[in-house]
Amino acid sequence: MIDTNKLSYFIKKSGLKKKYIADQLGICLSTFSRKLNNKVDFTISQIRLLCEILNIDDKDRDEIFFRQ
Can you spell out the DSSP letters for the chain? Answer: ---HHHHHHHHHHHT--HHHHHHHHTS-HHHHHHHHTTSSPPPHHHHHHHHHHHT--HHHHHHHHS--
pTM for this model (two decimals): 0.91
Q: pLDDT tens, 31-68?
A: 999 999 999 999 999 999 999 999 999 999 999 999 86
Cα of first residue to Cα of last residue in the chain, in angstroms, is 8
Task: Determine the Cα–Cα distance for residues 58 and 12; give it in Å rounded to an integer.
Answer: 19
- pLDDT at residue 27 tops 80: yes
